[in-house]
Amino acid sequence: MLPDLDYGEMPRALQQILERERPEPIATLPRRSFLKLAGAGGLALGAFPHLAMAQGTSADPATSALKPTEQPSAFMQIASSGEVTVTINRLEFGQGVQTALPMILAEELDADWALVRSRNGSSSAAYLDPRFNMHITGGSNSVKNSFTQYRELGARARAMLLSAAATRWNVDVAVLRTQAGTVMGPGGRKLGYGELAEAAMALPVPEKVTLKNPKDFRIIGKPTTRLDARAKSSGRQDFGIDVRLPGQLTAVVARPPVFGARLKSVDDSAARAVKGVKAVLRVPLDRGAEGVAVVADGYWPAKLGRDALKLQWDTAAVEKVDSEKQLVQYRELATKPGPRHFEADMAPLATAPKQLEAEFVFPYLAHAPMEPLNCTVKLTGDRAELWVGTQFPGADNAAAARVLGLKPEQVQVNVQTAGGGFGRRGVGSSDFVVLGCEVAKAARTAGLNAPVRTLWSREDDIKGGYYRPMHLHRARIGFDERGQVLAWDHVIVGQSIVTGTMFGGRVKNGIDPTASEGMRNPYPLPMRLTMHHPALNVPVLWWRSVGSTHTAFVMETLIDEIASATKQDPVTYRMQLFGDKNPRHRAALQLAVDKSGYGKTPLPAGRAWGVAVHECFSSVVAYVVEASVQDGKPVLHRATAGVHCNLAVNPRSIEAQVQGAALMGLSMCLPGAAITLKDGEVQQSNFGDFAVPRITDMPEIAVHIVPSAEPPTGMGEPGLPPLAPAFANAIARLTGKPLRQLPFNLA
């Protein structure tokens, strides 16, 4: 059955085809209305001012000391039916926090998992990261940083429910227990959470609670189907792009061909003549540029209007980056002195019995999430409301307030589920949110008093900037016949992604640590690392796993080369280097080796093993892969992952994350997986010239998790970095030639 589509978003020819097949509408209750009704049937925690006051202004000093991030009222709703709705303090964009965080809270609450639901949060102070004290989804920190927080939220609410039941039955709370959403008392008495919720949440919130012993977990650690699985697999999931408000208009923006360029002239007569176009507006863009927004009653007329614009651009005052010239510049920089991240004695290089020199080149990469960027803005009097899939709702709230001339408290950001992001929805400049506000403000000035959704096309997304930076690495390594590294002189050249942002304080002595993360560790190597961060007119940003996207490839392919040069098995060599100080690396690699059959199972003719292991965001992932070369092209057949992320909250989501990360890691290897510039213009525009893996590229993947009861570490990104070097190491075994660039070049 076709979904209830907004045909105004489509070309008219396609509208006519679909209209002929459109079924009779079925009366359904919108999800948001359903939740409102479900809450109305019982207690919507935090919806009643007197309950919020009871929790926030209790006479108990301990209660008043609780932060908003510690109060159950902002994170839970319990309906009279016993249904528990958990608010997540992160952006859900495919990593599974919409299930993992409710699992954590429900575990300590002793909820009936069949009755647990989830919903998105907002820019409210309650949803700050409890460690960083800011709104953030990034660094694979969601479960890691909120694990204890959500356990305590569930435990506090459970304690309040027990207290309410004890009062109702006039018994000591110590004789009560809970199970699957029910309080149980003496004589077989039972009360469902829905029956107790209103009385419970009027009580003071306990500051200190006793958490479960992990051996008693019945929800955490169990492979669990994601709460959003049915909606996403059936096409019913709403994303930011799907927001529809009464009277809403859609805007698309014409951007300059070179970053930072401004307009010379605008001829918008043909655009204004397009049916459905409401306004054509000049708007300021990111990095001092200018653009033209076409506002219409749907995406298609807005696009046609933009296509009809006749624009002349002034590019004289902006730098025009050229990828070929940039590589020459980087190579020259690599020969010059620069700030040092690591220091070590390089004298042994001159006398080392074995030496290795290597240069690695990594291109710019676009994030290219399946849902392009979008932001819907509604301006009403002196207030603004935004609907957007964002990793930084707090920063975006502040940016929107600045653009609109409002106070932050006059702006509300409603976080929407996003269709991917990989870092692109967490921008220090809030570029796509600022743009949405600029367009909405200009539209209101033009007399359009309606919500405006600013939407990026795929071409806008790929050509619109904020890429994983281009990097060049150079290494000179001296080692002996046993593979002991005597000296490793290394240089990295690449733009800084944090300089000039709210994270700029991380830059010390001219070094952006995000560019070097993943270098050297866990191997005890005498390394001297020199860094260069040239400033260029190309917007750059973190990309899933940040610096490890290039450092893991360099480290793990060079470690393999040293093992090969000294005739050692690459697994054995790594295990020796780990020593006794890296048990998690050892465990992850051994698990991958054991499950893959490495060294024991004969491979088909023409295939070879490849191995790599890497830690990022406190988790370790090892891959053992099987690969071949067919018709001159590298082919990845099979990948076995060993994962050490401490306690696995939801093993099924971890498996999915590693599978997705491995596929994204594979994308870096494919021909055409690069963003290049010529005379300042990005040469790629869509998936036809910026390669992404197809279903035929997907290898067989098996994911195995090292058992642990330690607090969980991040899993959104760690599965990506070691895939490409494992693949490259297998190809090098077949060809006898190391791969020194991404995407692969076997010529």
Which residues, other chains included, contact 461 with Cβ-Cβ below 8 Å and sequence gap of 6+?
Answer: 366, 367, 368, 369, 372, 373
pLDDT band at 8 (very low <50, low <70, confident <90, very high): low
Q: What is the DSSP letter of 741?
A: B
Nearest one of 577, 482, 575, 573 to 525, comparing CA atoms: 577
- Identify the H or E element spanning 723: helix 723-735
For residue 281, give the DSSP letter: E
In whole numbers, what is the pLDDT of the chain averaged over residues? Answer: 92
pLDDT at residue 297 above 50? yes
Residue 56 has pLDDT above 80, yes or no: no
Average pLDDT of the residues in 493-502:
95
Is the pLDDT assigned to residue 464 strictly greater than 50?
yes
Task: Provide the pLDDT for residue 687.
Answer: 96
Q: What one-character-per-residue DSSP string does 188-248 give?
A: G-EEEHHHHHHHHTTSPPPS--PPPPGGG-SSTTS----TTHHHHHHT----GGG---TT-
Q: What is the pLDDT of residues 433-459, one digit of tens each?
A: 999 999 999 999 999 999 999 999 999
User: Distance between CA atoms of 725 and 707, rounded to whole angstroms?
Assistant: 25
Give the pLDDT of residue 64: 53
The least confident of 64-73, 251-260, 319-328, 522-531 is: 64-73
Looking at residue 566, its pLDDT comes to 98
Reply yes or no on whether the pLDDT at 125 is more than 90. yes
- The structural domains of the chain, ordered by start, are 1-28 (no CATH), 41-231 (3.30.365.10), 240-317+373-455 (3.30.365.10), 334-364+467-735 (3.30.365.10)
**Res 30: pLDDT:** 36
- In angstroms, the CA 617 to CA 545 distance is 8
User: In whole angstroms, what is the distance from residue 589 CA to residue 659 CA?
Assistant: 17
Strand order in the sheet with 84-88: 76-78, 84-88, 116-120
Instruction: Judge contact between 217 and 647, C-beta under 8 A.
Output: no
Q: What's residue 363's pLDDT?
A: 98
**pLDDT score of 468:** 98
> What pLDDT is stored for residue 46 in this prediction?
31
Residue 337 confidence class, pLDDT cut points 50, 70, 90: very high
Q: What is the DSSP letter of 719?
A: T
Q: How confident is the model at residue 9 (pLDDT cuts 50, 70, 90)?
A: low
Residue 63 has pLDDT above 70, yes or no: no
Handedness of CA 39, 45, 47, 49 (dihedral sign): positive
53 vs 269, residue with greater confidence: 269
> Looking at the predicted structure, is the pLDDT value of residue 193 above 80?
yes
In this predicted structure, the answer to whether residue 61 has a pLDDT above a threshold of 80 is no
Q: What is the pLDDT of residues 694-724, one digit of tens each?
A: 999 999 999 999 999 999 999 999 999 999 9
CB 193 within 8 A of CB 187: no
pLDDT band at 527 (very low <50, low <70, confident <90, very high): very high
Q: Quick one: pLDDT at residue 11?
A: 54
pLDDT over threshold 80, residue 10:
no
Has residue 348 got a pLDDT over 50?
yes
Report pLDDT digits (tens) over 622-673. 999 999 999 999 999 999 999 999 999 999 999 999 999 999 999 999 999 9
Write the pLDDT tens digit of every residue in 563-607.
999 999 999 999 999 999 999 999 999 999 999 999 999 999 999
Structure tokens at 473: 């690495």
pLDDT in tens, 397-417: 999 999 999 999 999 999 999
pLDDT of residue 65: 82
What is the distance of C-alpha 614 from the center of its chain? 19
pLDDT given at position 747? 84
CB-CB contact of 699 with 672 (8 Å): no
Q: Is the pLDDT of residue 207 over 60?
A: yes
Residue 15 has pLDDT above 60, yes or no: no
Position 16 pLDDT exceeds 80: no
pLDDT for res 57? 31
Whether the upstream peptide bond of residue 526 has omega within 30° of 0, thus cis, is no
Q: What pLDDT score was predicted for residue 5?
A: 46
